[in-house]
Amino acid sequence: MRFNVVLLTALLMAGSAGAALPATSDLPSLAPMLEQITPSVVNIATYTTVQVRNPLMDDPFFRRFFNVPEQQQRYRRTKAAGSGVIVDARQGYIVTNNHVVDRADEITVTLSDGRALPAKLVGTDAQVDLAVLKVDSRKLAQITFADSSRLRVGDYVVAIGNPFGLDQTVTSGIVSALGRSGLGIEGYEDFIQTDASINPGNSGGALVNLRGELIGINTAILAPAGGNVGIGFAIPSNMVSAIMAQLIKHGEVQRGRLGVRVQALNPELAQAFNVNVAEGVVVVEVDKESACAKAGIAPGDVIVRVNDRDIKRIVDFHSQSALLMVGDNVNMAVLRDGKQRRVNFDLVAESLEQIAGERIDPRLTGVALQNFRSENDPTTGAGVLVTDIGPDSSALERGLRPGDIIVALNRKAVRSIAEMSDQQPSPNGQMLLRVYRAGEFGYIVLP
């Protein structure tokens, strides 16, 4: 579908001249496209049970002084709302943001025709902020995926969702930028930026092109004053499709680990490593026994291509890494000593249920880590358990203790060792751990 620019210009000129428009004129409109796709965008309501805590009641001296009896734990029920997109009408699969359904006890999906359906959580990926739900119903409408790699800055886009509880709200704009990263929103960031109005409640909704094809899942806004300022972000449809397939197949994302740390190539590094390119990433460190180590990748190599994606910036490398799953074949173009070489290898599953902390970061030397999952604890749910710490560990001096459950690294939620290992370093170089200990959360900084 395209805007008829000539017709639109003629209409505007006629209107400005005070002339009446012909009753038979077909005005440019998005309505036909929207009538086809809005039934695929749904409202999501979540209900969560949270513990009500009074810090004073946790103090035994306070209770004894005021003769307050021991109290049982109290909980209250909260409600939140967001949006979702039906991606498989036959199976009833719906894609939304992870933060829309995070820690929800009950999820209800309301369709455009008013039907309210209970939804089951199929799987989530906090690193990309995506989740897949499933409903049992007939007569669902699904959306068609577009190839987000073909997007250009300036393309017209339309955002559909339920901001502030206003069902089936449509806003329009353009693609303002591509490949946005470094925003501190998710672990893997490769956002489409748009000026189409996105507000609270739009999260998980659809960003579509003028053909009504899904090009992204709306996920965040930049709102320094607390309201919409025309800077919204969406997860590209190609990434959504890859993560969705993993969640449906496995219930989780079995992301393969390349096992390398990189930094951006600059003119000085290009000269030092004798390469004649201006863009790429330089391998700084290679984990022992990792896929890249076994393939012969070494520090100082310049990676310029991974599979079908050119690697010009660090965001390109991290975004492509987010799409590499266990079992995938990786074809990598690497520059070494001025010559390009091709490296081909398969990503195999690594046992990351229990590892030594130094495999993640040298600052965790002496720390033994293990995946932690609890279906009965609504507070933690999942994280990384510290099973042991050596007496000479610097992490011990900084306050980390056996039994601590690490639930976030550098302000990004982590639910497993794999997610913790995949986290990008903090801009200030510190390692900020959020831990759960004895019923309370706290922070530990490892410089």
**pLDDT at 207 (0 to 100):** 95
**pLDDT at 352 (0 to 100):** 59
The encoded tokens of residue 396 equal: 């011990």
List phi, psi (to 5°) of 185.
-90, -50
**pLDDT at 18 (0 to 100):** 45
CB–CB of 122/132 below 8 Å? yes
**pLDDT at 12 (0 to 100):** 39
Is 203 one of the annotated active-site residues of the chain? yes
Q: Which residues of the chain have pLDDT under 70?
A: 1-25, 50-75, 182-187, 223-228, 350-353, 374-381, 424-428
List phi, psi (to 5°) of 312.
-105, -30
Q: Under 8 Å CB-to-CB from 294, ≥6 apart: which residues?
A: 345
Distances (CA, A) of 413 to 53, 78, 125, 163: 22, 21, 10, 25
What's the rounded Cα separation, in Å, for the pair 354 and 386?
A: 10
**pLDDT at 7 (0 to 100):** 39
- Classify 113 as helix, strand or coil: coil
**pLDDT at 353 (0 to 100):** 64
Closest CA to 54 of 41, 71, 34, 37: 71
Q: Under 8 Å CB-to-CB from 270, ≥6 apart: which residues?
A: 276, 277, 278, 302
What's the rounded Cα separation, in Å, for the pair 158 and 30?
A: 9
**pLDDT at 13 (0 to 100):** 41
Closest CA to 389 of 440, 444, 430, 336: 444
Secondary-structure percent of the chain, ordered helix, strand, coil, rounded to 5: 20, 35, 40
CB–CB of 174/154 below 8 Å? yes
Residue 384 forms beta bridges with which residues? 371, 406
- Number of Cβ within a 10 Å radius of residue 155: 15
- Number of Cβ within a 10 Å radius of residue 341: 12
Is 318 one of the annotated active-site residues of the chain? no
pTM of the model: 0.71
CB–CB of 320/312 below 8 Å? no
Residue 413 forms beta bridges with which residues? 408
Closest CA to 202 of 246, 169, 238: 169
What's the rounded Cα separation, in Å, for the pair 382 and 389?
A: 20
**pLDDT at 214 (0 to 100):** 96
Q: Which of 148, 176, 203, 421 is catalytic?
A: 203
Q: Could you read off the pLDDT of 265-284 as tens digits, one per residue?
A: 888 888 888 888 888 899 98
CB–CB of 31/70 below 8 Å? no
The encoded tokens of residue 23 equal: 């009753």
Closest CA to 394 of 363, 369, 425: 363
Sign of the CA dihedral with 256 first, then 409, 183, and 83 last: positive
What's the rounded Cα separation, in Å, for the pair 306 and 290?
A: 16
What's the rounded Cα separation, in Å, for the pair 278 and 265?
A: 7
Q: Which of 40, 83, 125, 129 is catalytic?
A: 129
Q: Under 8 Å CB-to-CB from 22, ≥6 apart: which residues?
A: none
Q: Which of 40, 83, 99, 195 is catalytic?
A: 99
List phi, psi (to 5°) of 248.
-70, -40
- Number of Cβ within a 10 Å radius of residue 179: 15
Helix or strand run (H / E) with residue 431: strand 431-437
